[in-house]
Amino acid sequence: MAVHPGSVHALYVDAVSDNGARAHRGPQPRHYEIRVRGHLGETIMAAFPGLSAQVRGEDTVLTGMLPDEAALYGVLAEIEALRLELLELRRFPPR
């Protein structure tokens, strides 16, 4: 099975234990940057706990660590529910 960057399978990491055996660690938290159109007020920002907001021009950029892909989908669902326009989504490599 081929694993493509950005796929669910790419979020899982194999670790080598002290005895040399491979151990499965599960998804690793990743840093995201999510750009939406407009300036978000305090009330709307309350829908995104754990993410910080920065105004850049006419847009707002939400940044922060998300524990897994399910959390990312939760943020995207909230953006849709609030009828915000998603402009850009960036995932940064693990540090």
Q: Give the pTM.
A: 0.71
Does residue 22 fall inside a structural domain? no
**Rounded average pLDDT over 26-50:** 94
Does residue 81 fall inside a structural domain? yes
Does residue 74 fall inside a structural domain? yes
Does residue 13 fall inside a structural domain? no
Does residue 75 fall inside a structural domain? yes
What amino acid is encoded at 67 in this protein? P
CB proximity list for 79: less than 8 A, separation 6 or greater: 34, 36, 86
Does residue 12 fall inside a structural domain? no
CATH number for 83: 3.30.70.980
Domain tally for the chain? 1
The pLDDT tens digits of the residues spanning 40-56 come to 999 999 999 999 999 99
Q: Which domain holds residue 39?
A: 28-92
The pLDDT tens digits of the residues spanning 7-18 come to 333 333 333 444
Positive or negative, the CA dihedral 54, 60, 92, 80 is: positive
What's the Cα-to-Cα distance from 73 to each of 7, 32, 46, 70, rounded to whole Å? Answer: 13, 12, 17, 5
